[in-house]
Chain A
Amino acid sequence: MMDFHTSIPLWIAILIIFPLIAAIIYLYRRIDTPLRRSEKLLLVFLRGISISLVLFCLIEPAVTYQKRSFQKAELAILIDDSQSMSIPDMDGRKSRSSIVKELLLRNSSFIDELNKRFNVQLYRFSSQLSVLLDEADRSIINQLKSDGNATDIESAIKSVSDELKGRPTAGIILVSDGANNFGKDPINTSKHLEIPIFTVGVGSRETPKDVAILNVRADPIAYVGHQYPIDATFTSNGYHDGDVRISLIEGRTVVDTLTVPLDSKGHERTVQFNHKFNREGVFNMKVSASILPGESSVQNNSYEFVVKVMKTKINVLYIEGALRWEYAFSNRALRADPDVEVTSLIMDEHGYYPVSDRRSFPSEVELSRYDVIIIGDVKADLLKGHEVSSLVKYVEEKGGALLFLGGNRSLGREGVGRTALSKLLPMEIGEEGAGVDRGTHNITLTEQGYNHPVTKLSENDDENSAIWRSLPPLTKLYTSSFIKAGAVVLIRTQTGKPVILFHRYGRGIVMLCATDELWKWAFQGHPFGIDDSTYKKLLSRMVRFLTYAKDKADRMTVITDKRSYYKGERVRISAYVYDETYQPIKDAQVSSRIQAPNGSYADIVFLSQGDGKFVAEYIPTNHGQFKVTVKAFKDNRLLCESSTYLFVEDVIMELQNARLDEDLLKEIASVSGGKYYYIKEAVSLLDSIDEPDGSVTYSVQKSLWDNMFVISAIILSLTLEWIYRKRKGLA
């Protein structure tokens, strides 16, 4: 079917041509030279033709029609070019990459057959995707270097599928060891691509002999003279008997060694060290497993981390106005922490309880000696005016830290909302007290809670999320009409109500738990399958965070998503920037200088995420302790700065857990409608790839005026008219 169209409407062209023809006729009728009628008609005709053709050109007529052509379907071959492909675990110490080159790329029958049937495009990928083209000085094989520092399968297949959109595609061949360690879940993306993916697995199928330290859990802060527990998780594969020695190293000194029997099944196991530091400082620590004969990789035999050792215990004053389970469990948890010294002050309208550690309210000087003051369920009238003032001063002027553990009395009508303490709270509580929301409230981490030192109960993000999801729901919340600007919510309900939040006030910091049911996380956790260590850890972290946050009542907080990284692993750095009144600043210019252990440094710029949060990414290529110094500017004026440390292990991320992952590759193939082959059988996939209908229908537009025929006709008619006029004496 054809469509005819012009640049201006046809009726306008008709409106122009008829008057022009009429004018020509009129002019030729009026000439003095005697001409026969037929001669005049000829001249009118010739002039009319030329003018009509010019007008024809001016309206730019064109036709559009459909055309169908047949072409070969596209086939993309993605070859993993990351560092794990250099592992020599094939056929007597050949590298994975060399096997790929040998069996596929140098195998002309394989490639030729594919080229006959499809339009084949080769790519290499690791953390990024790039096309492989045969060049005059560098063949495709020589362009594969196995030097990528990460493996991001999802990004590779998504990029290729975007390129192939709109073209008939036979499929994607993915050649990899499946050691995916970066980016999104490739299985989920493969499911929705509508392109079959044929995966080819490369790597030894035998369980390599290896002992690996997978993870170390240890508090970032320790105290002189106190037990410091360190949990190290490790696996062993390929060894059926014998032992491995796992050592704890402080600096360069081995301080403890445990001998553990080997388990050939690769189960993860945890050992615990209990160490004591005898001086303050920042210590580089390492957990290291002895190297066993025949290990495939020795770079994963150790795990390094940093710990800051402080001199004194954290002093906590716990003011309670109503004995309740929230007090019982929190008091118990804090007193079980060897680095925390709790002083209780339990009172009612009759005075102080005999069981209370103190029988009088501390003076201002005494208050300032406490690192954290916890206020429980205290009615307003239990605190005298000067006691309230001293608490406010403790936070506002002295930079102290308060933790409010919500209760009926403290947050009710007769609570702190009626006192100056209300201005310290991170949410608005008026004289009428907080609202009470009863129901079943399942809790979740907020975006800031994911990486916050209080709520990051595991270095593994998935495990951390699972811990929080597994906690019993709350049945009572204290609510407010609004959260104060600058408040950071760490935990909320799934309907968005804040549960644990904090903000800076004056020089200090105030945290609020808007429920009196946290104790259920200690006591009721068991039927849900968790023990009370989560609750104890949370309380300890709250107290520690409040202690350190108050020590540097900075207007900037800098945190990294983890404490330890591998070489080549992306580090995500977040900086939270506040003004003098501790409101978040959205329009600061934030940058960082990251100093590597070898003295070199990198300058990076942060991007604003809104609400005072700025983020940046950095990929370390050295190992050791890095110092990250972040500065915020506005109008070229320095607003604030802060620093933190991160540790990079002398292990290349790509070489950690780099075993052939056939399960992943099989799943990718299965969900996408493809098939999996081990590299030795890869040639068989030639029979599995269907050739889809390669015909393509497309539109063609052809202009009718832009050609030699029309131009020639215009010139011819004008020329003939001129010749005839000359002969008749009219020119």
Chain B
Amino acid sequence: MDIQEEEGVGMKLGTLLSTFCLTLVIACLSFGQSEGKFVIARLKYGGGGDWYNGPTQITNLLKGLRERTNIDAGTKQEIVQLTDKKLYSYPFIYMTGHGNVAFSDEEVKALRQYLTRGGFLWANDDYGMDKSFRREMKKVFPDKELVEVPFDHPIYHCFYDFPNGLPKIHEHDGKTPKGYAIFHEGRIVVFYDYESDIGNGLEDPEVYNDPPEKRELALKMAINIVVYALTH
């Protein structure tokens, strides 16, 4: 005959208390992080590309925003997919990667709606994302092109001055860095940095050992992108 030991009252109380504490901690963390603050959400996309690359990029940018601007920025990035309902809690989303980007039909529709309703997408080519990114954006906006942003555009001057456009952070193919954008009703809704890699410039210093001046330029340009999104 099997003898089954009943869980004692102490065990039950212990389990309950641990669960409660864990829930409280998680709630506090998320409450403290994003409640009313400016937060950037990283876009998780399909296609096989490493959407998760550069885990310290956003946190360093948020830190820079807190230190250098009047923006009440959070401390951690969020992660979101285009079909998440919580997408509309984040009017600013960021994507990067080296590989293939692929959006489902539902995601294409969702992204178009998100951007035309007031959202902003900053896409950073980490080296290798260009072809698929352009292909997917053509699905999102068949009627619009990714156009090169002129150097006198406010995105290059709204906080820091970049008279010659995007800074060159990483070598990639050795080409001139270019900033491309999709405009909607006169406003940039997608900003795409190509042959620049601002995202990697935001990483912790020990990741790429970039010179401090490169990292500074990357942070400044990233701050400009955020300030532009909040003022246009």
Binding site for B on A (CB under 8 A): 321-325, 327-329, 331-332, 336, 344, 346-349, 353-355, 408, 438, 476, 516, 519, 522-527, 531-532
Cα A496 to Cα B179 in complex, Å, equals 49
B158 engages A354 (CB within 8 Å): yes
B71, A524: Cβ atoms under 8 Å?
no
Interface hub of B36, B69, B71, B232 (most chain A Cβ within 10 A): B36
Interchain CB contact under 8 A, A355 and B118: no
In the bound complex, do residue A524 and residue B38 qualify as a contact, i.e. CB atoms below 8 Å apart? no
Q: Is B72 an interface residue (CB 8 A)?
A: yes
**Bound complex: CA A331 to CA B187 (Å):** 12
Assess whether B119 is interfacial by the CB under 8 Å rule. yes
List 19 A–B pairs whose Cβ atoms lie within 8 Å, in order of A's numbering: A323-B38, A324-B230, A327-B230, A328-B91, A331-B231, A332-B232, A336-B185, A344-B231, A348-B69, A353-B159, A353-B231, A355-B158, A355-B228, A438-B35, A516-B36, A522-B118, A523-B91, A523-B117, A526-B113
Q: Report chain A residues within 8 Å CB of B185.
A: 336
* B231 A354 Cβ-Cβ under 8 A: no
User: Which residues from chain B contact A354 at a C-beta distance below 8 Å?
Assistant: 157-159, 161
Minimum C-beta distance from A516 to chain B (A): 7
* Bound-state Cα–Cα, A70 to B187, Å: 84
A331 partner residues in chain B, CB cutoff 8 A: 231
What A residues does B221 contact at CB under 8 A?
none
Select one of A332, A346, A525, A526 contacting B187, CB under 8 A. A332
B231, A346: Cβ atoms closer than 8 Å: yes
Known: A323-B70, A348-B69. A355 touches B231 (CB 8 A): yes
Rounded to whole Å, the gap between the CB of A462 and the closest CB of chain B is: 26
- Quick one: CB contact mask for B14-56 with A, threshold 8 Å, 1 for yes? 0000000000000000000001101000000000000000000
B154 close to A (CB within 8 Å): yes
Are B118 and A323 in touch, CB under 8 angstroms? no
Q: Closest chain B residue to A382 by CB distance?
A: B70
Say whether B85 faces chain A, with CB atoms less than 8 Å apart.
Answer: yes
Contact A323–B227 (Cβ < 8 Å): yes
Contact in complex: A321, B36 (CB < 8 Å):
no
Q: In the complex the two chains form, is B230's CB within 8 Å of A323's CB?
A: yes
Q: Please, how many angstroms separate the alpha-carbon atoms of A523 and B114 in the complex?
A: 8
- CB nearest to A323 among chain B residues: B230
Q: Could you mark each residue 49-81 of chain B with 1 if its beta carbon is under 8 Å from any beta carbon of chain A, else 0?
A: 000000000000000000001111000000000
Residues in B neighbouring A532, C-beta threshold 8 A: 117-118
- 7 pairs of A and B residues whose beta carbons are closest in the complex: A348-B70, A355-B158, A323-B230, A524-B88, A322-B70, A328-B230, A523-B118
Is B229 engaged at the interface, CB distance under 8 Å to the other chain?
Answer: yes
Instruction: List chain A residues, Cβ under 8 A from B70.
Output: 321-323, 347-349
Pairwise interchain contact A523-B119, C-beta atoms closer than 8 A: yes
Contact (Cβ within 8 A) B231 A328: yes
Whether A355 touches B227, Cβ cut-off 8 Å, given contacts A322-B70, A332-B187, is yes
Expressed in whole angstroms, the Cα–Cα distance for A336 and B118 within the complex equals: 13
* A533 CB to nearest chain B CB (Å): 11
CB contacts (< 8 Å) of B159 on chain A: these are: 353-355
Most A C-beta atoms less than 10 A away, residue of B72, B161, B230: B230
CB distance from A527 to the nearest CB of B (A): 6
- Residues of the A chain whose Cβ atoms lie less than 8 Å from the Cβ of B35: 438
How far does the Cβ of B162 sit from chain A's closest Cβ, in whole Å?
12
Q: Select from chain A the residue with minimum beta-carbon distance to B159.
A: A354
Contacts of A332 on B, CB cut-off 8 Å? 118, 187, 232
Q: How far is the CB of B209 from chain A (nearest CB, A)?
A: 31
Q: In B82-109, which residues have CB < 8 Å from any A CB? A: 85, 88-89, 91
Q: Check B72 against A324 for contact (C-beta < 8 Å).
A: yes
Nearest Cβ on chain B to A322's Cβ, whole angstroms: 5
Q: Which residues of B contact A438 (CB under 8 A)?
A: 35
B71, B117, B119, B157: the one within 8 Å of A323 (CB):
B71
Instruction: Tell me which of A322, A329, A519, A523 contacts B71 (CB under 8 A).
Output: A322
Complex CA gap A525/B117 in Å reads: 9
Question: Smallest distance from the beta carbon of A513 to chain B beta carbons, Å?
Answer: 15
A-B contacts besides A344-B231, A355-B159, 11 pairs, CB < 8 Å: A324-B71, A328-B230, A329-B118, A336-B185, A346-B231, A348-B70, A353-B231, A355-B227, A408-B72, A525-B117, A526-B88
A524 to B230, CA, bound (A): 17
Contacts of A525 in B (CB 8 A): 117
Compute how far the CA of A275 lies from the CA of B29 in the bound complex, rounded to whole angstroms.
54
CA distance A347 to B91 in the complex (A): 22
Question: Which of A348, A354, A408, A532 has the most B CB atoms < 10 Å from its CB?
Answer: A354
Closest to B119 in A: A523
In the assembled complex, how far is the CB of residue A529 from the closest CB belonging to chain B, in whole angstroms?
A: 13
CB pair B72 A327 closer than 8 Å = no
List chain A residues, Cβ under 8 A from B71.
322-324
Of A324, A344, A346, A531, the residue contacting B38 (CB under 8 A) is A324
Q: Given that A322-B72, A523-B117, A523-B119 are known contacts, is A328 also in contact with B229, CB under 8 Å in the complex? A: yes
Residues of A within 8 A of B38 (CB): 323-325
Q: Report B-chain residues with C-beta under 8 Å of the C-beta of A355.
A: 154, 157-159, 227-228, 231
- Chain A residues with CB under 8 Å of B69's CB are 323, 348
Contact of A526 among B117, B228, B231 (CB under 8 A): B117
Task: Report chain B residues within 8 Å CB of A349.
Answer: 70
Nearest residue (CB) in B for A322 is B70
Taken together as a complex, chains A and B put the C-alpha atoms of A346 and B231 apart, in Å, by: 9
Find residues 174-232 in chain B having any chain A CB closer than 8 Å to their own CB: 185, 187, 227-232
Provide the bound-state CA to CA distance between A430 and B228, in Å: 34
On whether A327 and B88 interact (CB within 8 A), knowing A332-B187, A523-B117, the answer reads: no
